[in-house]
Amino acid sequence: MPCHNDNEKYMHRCLELAFQGIGQVAPNPMVGSLLVHKDLIIGEGFHRSYGEAHAEVNAVRQVANKELLRHASLYVNLEPCSHHGKTPPCTDLILEKEIPRVVIGTPDPNPLVAGNGIKLLRENGVQVTLGVLENECKDLNKRFFTWHLHNRPWIILKWARSSDGFIDLERPASAPIGPNWITSQTARILVHKWRAEEQAILVGTNTVLKDNPRLNVRDWTGKDPLRVVIDRKLRLNSSYHVFDNSGKTLVFTEKIPAPHKITEAAEPAKEEIVQEMKPDPSNMPSGNRVSDRGKTRYAEIIFDGTAELQMLKLLYRENIQSVIIEGGAYTLNSFIEKGLWDEARVFTGPAFFRNGVRSPEITGNRKESRMIDNSLLEIFFNT
């Protein structure tokens, strides 16, 4: 029987495998799995893409001699599923292959699983070891856990500030549209990598008016996030990149516009069901409604002291497990002041603005600090 240190060694490998699914598996969790026989890994796999085979299935498929499964230990960072979704339950596969021992990092918070997989395995004689590197396993799937346990997405704030503490210059109405770059191209590539890892990206009206951002991952390989724009008074028109139909856009406004005011958009794509368990609409604030117009959708909220919470509830209802908020200063501060953030990624570049729009101030646990070319990157957690 593997010792405690062996369990941790193999669970570390599960986490390495699982992380390869980042940006591809949501709203499912990232899961890695491996099979060990006599201290040798005989099969390993991870969940590669939403709707495809789970990690345990891929690990079993890689085992050349299936007879060894009856004498092997299966390692997985998240409790095996025990319900029918887009794929059959992994617990059925484990029992079918007569795998005698399963080592699990953490239980699954999804109410459709939530200990049922562990219970089923034990009731059928499988030896289950639970809680190996549990904190690391939860951290890997912090988006998934936050969505299920707190009914909202994981919230990442991101901005860049000049060396003298400004997020932007003061710009007159006649100023050219476009960003005032503070960081290097390398930092911008990293930001696009981050975008590919999250399901949504949110900005306010002024950011669109001043910078006309695309909010995509053109400098990286991966899925474009859902573009979310706060446009309370519908000041934005179809000339901005966020309405270019290259991807989906969700607009938060105080009143859904008449059809003739809707941004011209392509025909609506058939919406796929992205989660077996849909959030309960009764949890939504009263007055919320969503209007579909092709790839641009409008969500009506009440712009009072609960506006940010309403946005998060609507994103939860849309199965969005993570959102990166890129500004501007007013939008960032509105989430910071209400404590509605989990992680902040802040660049400080060499630019010296002397005056302009003051950078938000953040207090939290600084987890990381490193140089990206000529800019300092600091990462904070709201703990």
Residues catalogued as catalytic: 56
Location of structure tokens 């028109």: 237
Q: Is the four-CA dihedral 366, 367, 371, 377 of positive or negative sign? A: negative
Residue 265 φ/ψ, nearest 5 degrees: -145, 165
3-state secondary structure 14-39: HHHHHHCCCCCCCCCCCCEEEEEECC
DSSP string, 175-190: SPSS----S-HHHHHH
Burial state string for 154-167 with b = 16 or more CB within 10 A and e = fewer than 16: bbbbbbbbbeeebb
Which has the closest alpha carbon to 372: 349, 354, 351?
Answer: 349
CA atoms within 13 A on the CB side of 311: 30
| 322-325: strand order across its sheet | 289-293, 296-300, 249-253, 226-230, 200-204, 322-325, 154-161, 343-348, 375-381, 365-372
Residue 79 per-residue DSSP state: P
Which has the closest alpha carbon to 214: 175, 240, 184?
Answer: 240
Where in the chain does DSSP place strands (E)?
A: 32-37, 40-46, 73-78, 101-106, 127-130, 154-161, 166-168, 200-204, 226-230, 249-253, 289-293, 296-300, 322-325, 343-348, 357-358, 365-372, 375-381
Question: How is residue 166 written in tokens?
Answer: 């400004």
**What type of residue sits at position 270?**
K
Torsion of CA 9, 11, 12, 16, to 10 degrees: 140
